[in-house]
Amino acid sequence: MAKIFIIDDDEQLLRMVSLMLERGGHSTRLISNPVEGLQAVKEDKPDLLVLDVMMPGMSGHDIARDIRANKGLENLPILILTARAQEIDRETALKSGANDYLSKPVTSQELIEKVDELLSQPNQKMMPDRGVIIGMFGLRGGVGQTTLAVNLASALRRISQQEVCLVDFSPSGGQVALHLRLQLRHSWLDLPPLADLDWLALKGNLTLHPSGLRLLAAPQVPQLATEPSPEMAAKVIDLLQKQSAFMVIDVPRLFGPAFMAMMERVDIALHVLTPDVISVQTAVQLNRLLEKSNLKFKQKSYILNQVQVDSQIPQATVEKGLNARVASKINFDPNQARALSQGVPLTLTSAKSPLATMMNRMAEVINNRVAKRSGD
Amino acid sequence: MGATHFGRNQLIHMDMFTDAYRVTGRVLVGAGGIHAELANPSSSFLELKDAYISRIHQPGEIVTHYKVAAFSKDNINFIVLQDRREGIPVGTQHGRSIYTRGRALSVFLTVPSFEISGEIMHDGKVAPREILVQSVGRYQLVFSAKALASLYPQISYSGDLILVQKDRIGIFCLDG
């Protein structure tokens, strides 16, 4: 449950937005005077601010600028909600320091989705100076982890137009290349010994997808299972981080030293699970293992991926089991079977399918944060 | 906002443009939408509540705000609406209204500082003069429309309906 402040001079709208957010499980504070609202934000820092633009005395843009100039509030997620619905209004809102923008009228679902998305965003301070590393992980197979990793990487490449690298460290028979229908010449198994491993050697083992995405693949043909050493995994990640704006790692489902070496380096850890009992139990067990290992994530979120038509257990039950909120829920996407057979990720084709919509949104959020940081 | 209901007045949000300003505010309209309000002969002014004024070249920034503002109907170049039902009655019990009858024609026209493109609905001979004379009222309705600032082409406004004052039209081009 997040503490959300809403500043809007329209009291009827304030109550409506508050009702929507409270139904979404958040607590709200309503402020109709913009000057008082700004003061309240400074005094009692909320987790998120919903802000109107057109208010007498002080516009929402002015409030956003003031907040951004305030030490300690630079990273407060701000959602602008306004009747000004033009593209130029969106641009102005983002320039003033808001993280996102919605135009009125807004549906309850739109608002809650946007708020949850902002709340699950990584904190700007957590981002390193070099490429951002996103780790998709989980110990249960069949939850769509590879599908999500491929789609997120493709979306990041398309949206950012920067170097994006996808890493498949599977010990044997990696699936990422199949998702992208790539004929592989190299895999991480072909990398030279640690002492000889440098960027040039690594680059020669990357496979380029037509979208511009680079892939460090796992061997396509099943081999005797071999895990990369933790030192090898760490060095590969460090080298790739220097050369890429974003790196997405499809972390192998094998809890061990290599797994830990990868997870220690990720900036955004995305724990993938499906809405079924075994998946939740596996996630809880993995959490215990990670706790025992004293691994502290800079940012961790849960992705609930519905890979079957029917959901076994509702999201609320999953959250209860995890004792944490699910940041993103992806509904069953019938288009995924076609995407897999065609070897083209949904984020490169079906922009409106559930999976593509969610992954594109996630990529946009990550990219916007990094772009904003670079602009500061 | 949903469809206007017969006999009920309601406040609608709109973006209004003069030669140099963008004004966002709310207007009280009846069943005939803003088009009927503009055609109302009993007043030469359009009254906006909560008017937020921006300059054309910085349309996202609010220069000033007033609780109530009256605008001379003669000085309005065009009005952008996100829902055509706020502008006109789109249908009657017997089918489409007089504003939405006919076939769709692509149109490009200019008003001071702006180029507007979209579709008009016309029932009859396809000629600019015919269309401008035959269409009801002093505002030409352009559906699924986009207005582009001539001097700042990166600035544009889209709307389900743009009402363009006929007297302000400089160029009127048809594609039909």
Nearest to B52 among A54, A87, A92 (CB): A54
A105 CA to chain B: closest CA distance, Å? 7
Give mean pLDDT, residues B20-28: 92
Chain A residue closest to B2 (CA)? A105
B3 part of a folded domain:
no
Three-class secondary structure of residue A66 per DSSP:
helix
Chain A residue closest to B146 (CA)? A86
**pLDDT bucket at A352, cuts 50 / 70 / 90:** confident
B4 part of a folded domain:
no
Task: Report pLDDT for A5.
Answer: 95
Residue for token pair 């005395």: A57
Residue for token pair 């010990």: A171
Q: Which of A159-168, A186-195, A268-277 has the highest mean pLDDT?
A: A268-277
* CATH architecture of the domain with residue range A124-375: 3-Layer(aba) Sandwich (3.40)
Do residues A52 and A60 lie in contact, with contact meaning Cβ atoms separated by under 8 Å?
yes
- Find how far residue B158's CA is from the centre of its chain: 11
Share of chain B above pLDDT 70, in %: 91
Edge-to-edge strand list for the sheet holding A214-216: A207-208, A214-216, A164-168, A246-250, A132-137, A268-273, A300-305, A328-330
In terms of DSSP bridges, do strands B103-111 and A78-82 run parallel, antiparallel, or are they unpaired? unpaired
pLDDT at A342 over 70: yes
**pLDDT bucket at A127, cuts 50 / 70 / 90:** very low
The pLDDT tens digits for A66-78 are 998 887 887 899 9
The CATH number for A3-119, chosen from 1.10.10.10, 3.40.50.2300, 3.40.50.12170, 3.40.50.620, is 3.40.50.2300
**Are residues B101 and B61 located together in one domain of the fold?**
no
B5 part of a folded domain:
no
Dihedral in degrees, nearest 10, Cα atoms A232, A235, A237, A238: 170
**Are residues B110 and B165 located together in one domain of the fold?**
yes
H or E element at residue B114: strand B114-122
Burial of B50 (0-12, 13-18, 19+ CB in 10 A): buried
Domain boundary, last residue among B29, B44, B79: B79
Q: Do A54 and B50 lie within an 8 Å CB cutoff? A: yes
**Are residues B75 and B101 located together in one domain of the fold?**
no
A29 CA to chain B: closest CA distance, Å? 24
How long, in residues, is chain B?
A: 176
Task: Report pLDDT for B60.
Answer: 87
Give the number of domains in chain B: 2
Q: Do A86 and B1 lie within an 8 Å CB cutoff? A: no
**Residues in A lying within 8 Å of B, measured between beta carbons:** 53-54, 56, 59, 61, 83-89, 91-93, 95, 104-105
The pLDDT tens digits for B146-157 are 999 988 888 889
- The answer for residues whose C-beta is within 8 angstroms of residue B88's C-beta and 6 or more apart is B32, B33, B35, B36, B97, B99, B100, B141, B161
Task: Report pLDDT for A295.
Answer: 83
Residues A91 and B65: their CA atoms lie apart, in Å, by: 21
- Residue B123: CATH number of its domain: 2.30.30.100
**Are residues B147 and B108 located together in one domain of the fold?**
yes
* Same fold yes or no, A3-119 and A124-375: yes
Share of chain A above pLDDT 70, in %: 94
**Are residues B101 and B152 located together in one domain of the fold?**
yes
B170 CA to chain A: closest CA distance, Å? 25
The pLDDT tens digits for B74-108 are 899 999 998 888 888 766 666 667 777 788 899 99
Domain range for B158: 85-90+97-175
3-state helix, strand and coil shares in percent for chain A, rounded to the nearest 5:
45, 15, 40
**Are residues B111 and B65 located together in one domain of the fold?**
no
Task: Report pLDDT for A195.
Answer: 87
Task: Report pLDDT for A125.
Answer: 42
Q: Do A88 and B155 lie within an 8 Å CB cutoff? A: yes
Which of B 27-66 lie inside 8 A of A, CB atoms?
50, 52, 59-62, 65
Residues of B in contact with A56 (CB under 8 A): 50, 65, 67
A131 CA to chain B: closest CA distance, Å? 31
B2 part of a folded domain:
no
Chain B residue closest to A90 (CA)? B60
B134 part of a folded domain:
yes
3-state helix, strand and coil shares in percent for chain B, rounded to the nearest 5:
15, 50, 35
Q: Do B67 and A56 lie within an 8 Å CB cutoff? A: yes
Q: Is the ipTM of this complex over 0.85?
A: no
**Are residues B75 and B122 located together in one domain of the fold?**
no
**Are residues B163 and B101 located together in one domain of the fold?**
yes
Do residues A52 and A9 lie in contact, with contact meaning Cβ atoms separated by under 8 Å?
yes
**Are residues B114 and B74 located together in one domain of the fold?**
no
pLDDT at B122 over 90: no
The pLDDT tens digits for A285-330 are 999 999 888 888 888 899 999 998 877 788 889 999 998 888 888 9
The pLDDT tens digits for B25-44 are 999 988 888 998 898 888 89
Give mean pLDDT, residues B115-138: 86
B131 part of a folded domain:
yes
In chain A, where the domains are located: 3-119, 124-375
Chain A residue closest to B157 (CA)? A86
A86 CA to chain B: closest CA distance, Å? 6
**Number of Cβ pairs closer than 8 Å across A and B?**
43
**Are residues B69 and B113 located together in one domain of the fold?**
no
The pLDDT tens digits for A39-50 are 999 999 899 999
Residues A291 and B163: their CA atoms lie apart, in Å, by: 62
pLDDT at B1 over 70: no
Q: Do B65 and A92 lie within an 8 Å CB cutoff? A: no
**pLDDT bucket at A81, cuts 50 / 70 / 90:** very high
